[in-house]
Amino acid sequence: MSEKKTKRRDFLFTATTAVGAVGAAAVVWPMIDQMNPDASVKALASTEVDVSSLTPGNTLTVLWRGKPVFIRRRTQEEIDEARNVKMEDLIHPEKDEDRAKNPEWLVMLGVCTHLGCVPLNDKGDYNGWFCPCHGSHYDTSGRIRKGPAPWNMEVPKYEFVDANTIKIG
């Protein structure tokens, strides 16, 4: 140990370990990545929904990527209620204007951000949604107001293809 001289043997040892580690990682990664969503799952990325039958005050639930999506045609009352909330009263502050570009239509994932249950319509202390699993209350904009959920219900990417059709994803 007194004289520090790199020997041929040390070099071989380090080089072998390094190549071995890279090789092991290269084999392990495919084993891990095979569990991620596959091509056929990813291919179901978007879905189109006909909303012509939906009257104000009603909600349509459709399946997108295996998850329910709530499409709510809101009444003027609900819109006013959502827009008059003070930002400081919110757990996860988001303006209703940003969540519903067209105020009449609220489109969001019907998945509670706590542990993934489907909240119930027209329930709870804020006239919006209520999650029966662990008691999270959401308002008429789908924002978390009370309970263990940390975030508002997620608004997915969507657009109106025409007046009666929404494309989600």
Q: Which is nearer to another protein, 130 or 166 (CB)?
A: 130
User: Which of the residues are catalytic?
Assistant: 134
Give 66's DSSP letter. T
Sheet with 105-109: strands ordered across = 58-64, 67-73, 105-109
Report whether 122 contacts 140 (CB < 8 A).
no
Q: Which is nearer to another protein, 100 or 149 (CB)?
A: 149
Binding residues for another protein, rule CB under 8 A, total 25
The contact pattern for another protein, residues 85-114, with x = CB under 8 A and - = no contact, is -----------------------------x
Question: Residue from 2, 5, 9, 36 that binds another protein (CB under 8 A)?
Answer: 36
Q: CB of 154: closest distance to another protein in angstroms?
A: 10
SS3 category, 22: helix
Residues that bind another protein (CB under 8 A): 32, 35-38, 41, 61, 63, 65-68, 114-118, 131-135, 148-150
